């Protein structure tokens, strides 16, 4: 049963609306002023709010802004007997779902009620689906080796907190999957996970990418743009290859982590951000500090919880498990008939030196799936698993 909160300083209005809503099978809460309504809103979490604008003390617009700051996804319908176009526009800009003039037309009220509750239901369903999809990515951390089991245990322990995490490991080991798993199991899982590859962004653009910019702050800044910190507000920011970030950007990231505030490029306004930061790198950051390429104080801020993802060569017992997983996954993606590895083929895969780690293994399995028959043999692995640069595919 959906719950609706009615906020109006006139008891007669509350009684009329309450009777209408209860006849619709809804649970009804009532408040006669802003502070009382805000307390109910935070404690009860109603599915919809009908709120009068003109009230003593905290008026409806102030209450609307306070409710939107606490939970912007709850539809709030504003009611007013002295409504103007300017007031309606202000309410909509502040996050109101709709604006209805008094005396309230019953048909208009019921249509708005049903549409708002349907929207709330769709938002809830969408969040549930997103959460389900995000959580499913946690299962992609494949392996039964002791090191992988320890990583899973660490993820489960760390994820529910807001502690910053630094993930280290060679290219292709699966650092991104660890970051996604932490986000998926965190209390922020319903909020965005924003990923930034610091190595892929030119040093002159990294600050704009992270912190946004104001219109006209540089030649190509044709409009104001939010950065990744703002986009990740309430969620998680994943700084991949953080060791490649410029020293200037590092200084700003450090400030953002210390003060939970950022300033856009070309701007003066400080913007509050609530972001959990997860970073990853394939570099030895302590060595980079000695070279003068990385800030020691930033490393201390990022590495509250360090997680190291080992090379695939250091956990050979996981190779057959990963190969079988990728085989099934690729067959589904390519819509191909079933294929399987022989035991000899799996043994051959464990003998290979995987310099590209899990990413290279997946590429080799995909090559075997495409080039081999229904049964992939040891000879197939010896023939086709060599790096492309060492074999002419003619």
Does 60 lie in the same domain as 120? yes
Alpha-carbon span 204 to 222, nearest angstrom: 17
Length of the chain in terms of residues written: 394
Q: In CATH, what number is assigned to the domain containing residue 84?
A: 3.40.50.2300
Q: Are residues 304 and 329 in the same domain?
A: no
Per mean pLDDT, which range of 3-17, 96-110, 134-148, 367-381 is the poorest? Answer: 134-148
Q: For position 232, what pLDDT does the model report?
A: 94
Give mean pLDDT, residues 165-181.
Answer: 95
What percent of the chain has a predicted confidence (pLDDT) above 90?
A: 66
**End-of-domain residue from the set 291, 310, 329:** 310
Q: Residue 137, SS3?
A: helix
Note the pLDDT tens digit of each residue in 314-365. Answer: 999 999 999 999 999 999 999 999 999 999 999 999 999 999 999 999 999 9
CB 206 within 8 A of CB 198: yes
Phi, psi of 329 (to 5 degrees): -65, -45
Indicate whether 394 pLDDT > 80: no
Domain identity same for 282 and 338:
no
Mean confidence (pLDDT) of the chain: 89
- Put simply, whether the predicted model's pTM sits higher than 0.75 gets the answer no
pLDDT at 127: 63
- My answer on whether 302 and 331 are in the same domain is no
Are 170 and 244 members of one domain? yes
Q: Is 146 a member of any domain?
A: no
Closest CA to 341 of 301, 384, 297, 310: 384
Instruction: Provide mean pLDDT across the span 192-202.
Output: 91
Number of H helices, E strands in the chain: 16, 14
Report the CATH number at residue 318.
1.10.8.60
Co-location of 175 and 45 in the same domain: no
| Residue 141, in any domain of the structure | no
pLDDT exceeds 60 at position 134: no
Residue 71: what pLDDT?
A: 87
Range of the domain at 22: 3-130
Question: Does residue 147 belong to any structural domain of this protein?
Answer: no
Whether 70 and 24 map to the same domain: the answer is yes
Q: Are residues 170 and 250 in the same domain?
A: yes
Task: Give the number of domains in the chain.
Answer: 3
The strand ranges marked E within 86-229 are 98-101, 165-168, 193-197
239's tokens: 């700084």
Residue 86: its pLDDT value, please?
A: 79
Residue 136 has pLDDT above 60, yes or no: no
For 36-90, the pLDDT digits (tens) are 999 999 999 899 999 998 888 888 889 999 999 888 889 999 988 776 777 788 8
Whether residues 109 and 191 fall in one domain: no
Please indicate, yes or no, whether residues 166 and 224 belong to a single structural domain of this protein. Answer: yes
Report if residue 165 sits inside a domain. yes
What is the reported pLDDT for 51? 93
Q: How far apart are CA 72 and CA 275, in angstroms?
A: 17
Question: Among residues 298, 299, 212, 222, which one has the least CA distance to residue 262?
Answer: 212
């Amino acid at each position: 049963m959906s719950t609706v909160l009615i906020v109006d300083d006139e008891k007669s209005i509350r009684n009329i609306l309450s009777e209408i809503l209860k006849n619709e099978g809804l649970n009804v809460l009532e408040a006669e002023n802003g502070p009382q309504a805000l307390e109910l809103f935070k404690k009860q979490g109603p599915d919809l709010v009908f709120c009068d604008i003109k009230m003593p003390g905290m008026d409806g617009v102030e209450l609307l802004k306070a409710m939107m700051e606490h939970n912007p996804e709850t539809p709030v319908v504003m009611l007013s007997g002295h409504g103007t176009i300017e007031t309606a526009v202000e309410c909509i800009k502040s996050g109101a779902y709709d604006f209805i003039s008094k005396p309230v037309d019953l048909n208009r009220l019921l249509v708005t009620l049903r549409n708002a509750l349907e929207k709330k239901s769709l938002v809830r369903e969408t969040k549930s689906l997103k959460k389900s999809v995000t959580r499913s990515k946690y299962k992609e951390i494949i392996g039964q080796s002791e090191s992988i089991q320890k990583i899973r245990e660490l993820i489960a322990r760390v994820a529910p907190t807001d502690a910053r995490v630094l993930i280290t490991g060679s290219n292709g080991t699966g650092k991104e999957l660890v970051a996604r798993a932490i986000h998926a199991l965190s209390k922020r899982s319903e909020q965005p996970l924003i990923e930034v590859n610091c190595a892929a962004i030119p040093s002159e653009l990294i600050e704009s990418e992270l912190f946004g910019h104001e219109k006209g702050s540089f030649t190509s800044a044709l409009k104001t743009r939010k950065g990744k910190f703002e986009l990740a507000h309430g969620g998680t920011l994943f700084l991949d290859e953080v060791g490649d970030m410029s020293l200037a950007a590092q200084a700003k990231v450090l400030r953002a982590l210390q003060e939970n505030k950022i300033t856009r490029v070309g701007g003066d306004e400080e913007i509050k951000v609530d972001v959990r930061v997860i970073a990853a790198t394939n570099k030895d950051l302590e060595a980079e500090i000695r070279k003068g390429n990385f800030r020691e104080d930033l490393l201390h801020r990022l590495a509250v919880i360090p997680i190291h993802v080992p090379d695939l060569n250091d956990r050979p017992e996981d190779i057959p498990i990963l190969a079988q997983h990728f085989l099934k996954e690729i067959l589904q993606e390519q819509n191909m008939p079933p294929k399987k590895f022989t035991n000899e083929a799996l043994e051959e895969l464990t003998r290979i030196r995987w310099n590209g780690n899990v990413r290279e293994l997946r590429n080799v399995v995909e090559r075997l799936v495409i080039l081999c028959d229904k049964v992939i043999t040891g000879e197939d692995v010896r023939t086709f698993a060599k790096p492309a640069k060492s074999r002419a595919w003619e």
